[in-house]
Structure 1
Amino acid sequence: MKLKPKRLNKGDTIGVVAPASPIRSRGHLHQAVKELKSWDFQVKLGEHVYRKHGYMAGTDQERADDLNAMFKDKTIDAIMVTNGGYGSGRILDLLDYNMIKQNPKLLVGFSDITSLHLALQKKTGLVTFHGPGVMKWNPQDFSSYSKEYLLKAISNNAPIGAIKVEDDKNWVDIIYPGQVQAEIVGGNLALLCASLGTPYEIDTKGKILFFEDWNLEPWMMDTYIQHLKNAGKLDDAVGFVIGECAHCDPVFHAGTGIYGCLSLEELFAELIQPFGKPAIYGLPLGHTASLATIPLGVEAYLDATNGKLVIKENGVI
């Protein structure tokens, strides 16, 4: 059963947690909090948000405790993560899903947070939001485009509508033409693969599969896509939306020449096109300066012939 969180209104309180890697600096987080407050929201930081445990923001228990606490806290209206990185998958069995189901709230994040999206959708039916972590909110990383789509997604109970591209900054490559309407699911490609064989495995049956990744050479993308194919996830899907994949071009390796010389476009033509299902690549839904926030688990319309994705269902109530 689909469970939708309440939309955010001015004056509402956002809880900020770090379920994956540690923050880059306190000053950076303070700047992000200041930005949130300028949007007329209140902010409460998780108890362990400044912790560091190797490449994670505290121990597994500390990170899980913070997320559970934010869902349980009646004064918190929405939850946003600081950043991705690594570690969300380590806390999935420490979350109180029954409590979360009784206290549905907005959750916004992407990249490593894909693990949380999948787990919450599987265990509670909660519609969650693939969008920027608050550490992206600085003049260098957070564009007016990103802000527009974030606020449209979390503060408006009408459907987001079409995901537009920024002029001269994005393009959309048509992998296979056609139209389809279905629920959209997905997230970071590597984390989607990591979910296979677990209680949180992604379900693509009759759904539009969205994925993105970054800093992977084409041969690495090939490996992950083949994994999904071998697991039947591409057969099950009715369409594909691939977000812009930053820093995923072939890399020159000294002594071996170009290793993995297929471009991403060529790779998608070989691996995705043969399914004969509507498919596009290049929307700003990944590790890029401009990132559109979209709800996961809602109806979307994919017009691959014209390179368009339209979110047809509201993600909040």
Structure 2
Amino acid sequence: MEKIKPKRLEKGDTIGIIAPASPHYNRSDIIRGIETLQEWGYKVITGENLHNKHEYLAGTDKERAHDFNEMFRNEEVDAIFVTHGGYGSARMLRYIDFDLVRKNPKIFIGYSDITSLHLAIQKYTGLVTFHGPGMAGFNPEDLTEYRKEYVFKALSQQEPIGEIRKANEKKWINCIHKGEVEGELTGGNLTLVCASLGTPYEIDTKGKILFLEEVWTEPWNIDHMFTHLYHAGKLQEAAGIVIGECTDCGPKKLDPGFHVTFSLEDILYDFIEPLGIPAIHGLPIGHTKDLATLPMGVNAKLDATNKKLYVTESGTK
């Protein structure tokens, strides 16, 4: 499918705010985010159902899909930011108007549960979207300089982002397998990537650089998901693999059955190293304080030998 790029974000543009997944706990989180965006020089409008709650969802599937579609339909809106992730984005896919999205390309950014939307948009429209922070954390207390830097590198500058560097020089990037490769970026949260398999929105990894991240998940469960990806051929088809920091993904003290001795690294080596493709682990992607924004569907270069990932194509025009 032909690649489509949204217009880059400029001061004075209008940002639409929607909640495609779970509801916010404190309304003030949204107010702070909106005020921060306005202080930066942007106009802000909110979805009709932004403050709705339906159990652990931010409204019914149709309500959340309505706000998504309307933001793409609204000619005044230049970019669409989600509040945060959580649960339920995949439930509204049946109600999304992908023709509308394709004909009205705009910046769309989010991560975690929003992975379901990124993969579906990629598959049905070719629109470049952005795996990055939700706006509920767009405030001086939560938005680190690293987060802010990479958001604006991805959304506002004409040049490619370039290197996705470590947020802290004390951090460690691990090379699982050496090598160098180029390809388009795809991926997201491991749980949601696996959930796409066997559906019309299934991830396409053939010849691409696959990035994956996870949070609060024990190694036995990650082992299950990597087994799923392997059996579906998704790991073998990838040109290269980048694993994020994967916050709090170690074994828990509670032992409900069999004692867990595998570490996350053990599983990564088990599944990825035998593939013989370039692969690294530890970049700040996804659920981490300092997370980089990645444009999905653009060209990138993975130099696993030197533990580097470069975004070599701009995600906007």
Greater shift after overlay, 235-244 or 162-171?
Answer: 162-171
User: Matches of residues 175-190 of structure 1 in structure 2 within 5 Å?
Assistant: 175-190=176-191
Deviation of the 1:307 alpha carbon: 0.7
1:235, CA displacement in angstroms? 1.0
Give per-residue Cα distances to partners, 1:231-290, cap 9 Å, x unaligned.
00011101100011001011112586x832211112211111111110000000020110
Alignment partner, residue 298 of structure 2: 298
TM-score (norm 2): 0.97
Query: What does residue 62 of structure 1 align with?
Result: 63
Q: What CA distance in whole angstroms lies between the structure 1 residues aligned with 2:92 and 2:313?
A: 30
CA deviation digits over 1:175-224, x for unaligned, max 9?
11110011111001011111111111000011111110100001111111
Which position in structure 2 is the counterpart of 1:29? 30
Contact 2:29 2:137 in 1 (8 A): no
Q: Give the letter aligned to residue 220 of structure 2.
A: W
Aligned position for 2:254? 253
Corresponding position of 1:39: 40
Residue number in structure 2 paired with 1:160 = 161
Counterpart in the other structure of 2:77: 76
Partner of 2:241: 240
Q: CA deviation at 1:110?
A: 0.3
Unmatched runs of 5 consecutive residues or more in structure 1: none
CA contact (8 A) 1:173 1:307 kept: yes
In 2, distance between residues paired with 1:7 and 1:275?
A: 37
- Rounded Cα–Cα distance in structure 2 between residues aligned with 1:141 and 1:194: 29
* TM-score between both structures, scaled by the size of structure 1: 0.97
Cα drift, residue 163 of structure 1: 0.3
- Are residues 1:215 and 2:220 paired? no
Aligned to 2:197: 196
What secondary structure does 2:226 align onto? helix
Distance in 2 (alpha carbons) for counterparts of 1:261 and 1:136: 35
Partner letter of residue 271 of structure 1?
Answer: F
| Residue aligning to 2:103 | 102
> Quick one: distance in 1 between partners of 2:187 and 2:167?
23
Q: Which amino acid aligns with 2:129?
A: T
Amino acid in the other structure paired with 1:59: T
Name which of structure 1's ranges 176-185 and 246-255 shifts more when overlaid on structure 2.
246-255
CA–CA distance in structure 1, aligned partners of residues 250 and 140 of structure 2: 26
Residue 110 of structure 1 contacts residue 188 of structure 1 at CA under 8 Å; is this kept in 2?
A: yes
SS in 2 for 1:180: strand
Which residue matches 1:132? 133
Matched with 2:311 is 311
Q: Which amino acid aligns with 2:287?
A: H
Whether 2:203 is the aligned partner of 1:227: answer no
One-letter amino acid of the counterpart of residue 240, structure 1 = I
Partner of 2:49: 48
Work out whether 1:282 is the aligned partner of 2:282.
yes
**CA spacing shift, 1:63–1:285, aligned 2, 3 Å:** same
After superposition, what is the alpha-carbon deviation per residue over 1:38-80, rounded to whole angstroms, capped at 9, x for unaligned?
2111111111100000000001110000000000000000000
Aligned to 2:253, what secondary structure does the other structure show?
strand
Stretch of structure 1 that moved more, 247-256 or 266-275: 247-256
Residues 252 and 259, structure 1, Cα contact 8 Å, conserved in 2: no
Shift of 1:171: 1.9
Task: Give the gaps of 5 or more residues in structure 2.
Answer: none
- Give 1:104 deviation, angstroms: 0.5
Task: Determine if the alignment matches structure 1 residue 19 to structure 2 residue 5.
Answer: no
> One-letter code of the match for 1:11?
G
After superposition, the C-alpha distances for 1:151-190 in whole angstroms (9 at most, x for unaligned) are: 1100012100000112345321111111001111100101
**Paired amino acid for 1:316:** T
Counterpart-to-counterpart distance in 1, 2:32 and 2:113:
22
Answering whether residue 189 of structure 2 is matched by residue 173 of structure 1, we say: no
- Give the C-alpha shift of residue 24 in structure 1: 1.6
- Assess, with a 3 A threshold, how the Cα gap between structure 1 residues 252 and 285 changes in structure 2: closer, same or farther: same
Q: Distance in 2 between matches of 1:266 and 1:125?
A: 35
% of aligned pairs identical?
53
Q: Greater shift after overlay, 47-56 or 263-272?
A: 263-272
Match for residue 116 of structure 1?
117
Q: Mark the CA change 1:27 to 1:169 in structure 2 (over 3 Å): closer, same or farther.
A: farther
What letter corresponds to residue 292 of structure 1 in structure 2? A
CA distance in 2, matches of 1:77, 1:255: 49
Residue 2 (structure 1) aligns with: 3
